[in-house]
Amino acid sequence: MIKKTILENGVRVISEALPNLNSVSIGIWVANGSRHEQQELNGVAHFIEHLMFKGTTSRTALDIAREIDSVGGILNAFTSREYVCYYAKVLDQFLPKAIDILTDIFTNSIFDPEEIEKERKVILQEISMVEDNPEDFIHDLFHQKFWQDHPLGMSILGSQNSINSLTRDGIITFKDQMYRAEDIIITAAGNVDHERLLLLLEKILPSIPAGNGRGNSAEPTHKKRIEAVERDLEQVHMCLGIRGLPQSHPRRFDTLIMNTILGGSMSSRLFQEVREKRGLAYSIYSYMVSHADSGSLVVYAGASPDRHQEVLELSLEELKRLKREPVSQVELDAAREQLKGNMILSLESSDNRMSKLAKNEIYFGEYQSIDSIIAGFEAVATSSIIDIAEQLMDDESLTLVLLGKVEDSHHFSGITLQ
């Protein structure tokens, strides 16, 4: 059973009782992320996420680690472009301890200047680690180009320059501005009682300042962009993308199935054609990125310098094929069952259930039942896939980014989905 309570200051508390589980997962979600930063503060949301584990008025960083370890629990956090989450997973008997630790770091972190400098070095190393891994770095480069001149194009981690320029006052000011009640959602799933959850949270929730910190972010615009970044690598890494759909778009089920057919699994068209039949790439796949107001469909591949152009041409051909030829009923049914199965299997864990509660609230404002999602997949037909492909696959948003030994990038300027 799912229950939701909105407190007087605007904090939302949502729980799903799963009495057959021995665990409880609880998360404190802040519904803003890197897209809500200014350019000069890029990376501050992620920096704050790190600093929240570095000591409070009553616990050192070591105390925090030891306490969660002593109950066999998991304590972690992550930052995205549209939200930050601090979460814990414990046996149900230790829920009070998990809440005590989570709420302590969320409200009482001290942002010690010495810890800030230590963590600055850690984040700079994290940025360097991504840049040293071309299969990771190419995706950052692609999003910077695809969302160019828009906050969605900024790195979640920030840049070397922006991280080095962040001050303690700037970090605290940003947190005070953004961590406000109307942007905070607390979700819990597992063997949890909603009323008991509210009682465990009652000491902390009223102290969270009312209001919200998010400004209105303009919807991004797109134009065709091609970029090659020269680097001495054994492979040429490629991201090819077009616009997608927002999280809550009514036609999202069409694009999810379309992506699965295109490159979402080992049985997909891209994997079978490029890797299995031709042996041109070890890794090739496609994926969807969906935000509150926009999205993208991206194809990734890594190929040798003398074969990457062939891989690109095959990828373009498979994209064009989706709007030119109806997919077979066999492909459609297989993709539909794959997505339904993946979803149902993922919801067998309390942490995934907890995350689903929060994301549904952020993007839909209400819970999306499993039955309604299955119904959405069941409604997809071969005609609806070709229709959405025709809508999305044009040259207006077509973006190609290459990383590696690209001798002549000029001949890529003529690529088209027409």
Residue with tokens 């290459």: 402
CA 284 to chain CA centroid, Å, is 20
Residue 110: which residues within 8 A CB-CB, separation 6 or more? 55, 56, 57
What positions carry a catalytic annotation?
Answer: 49
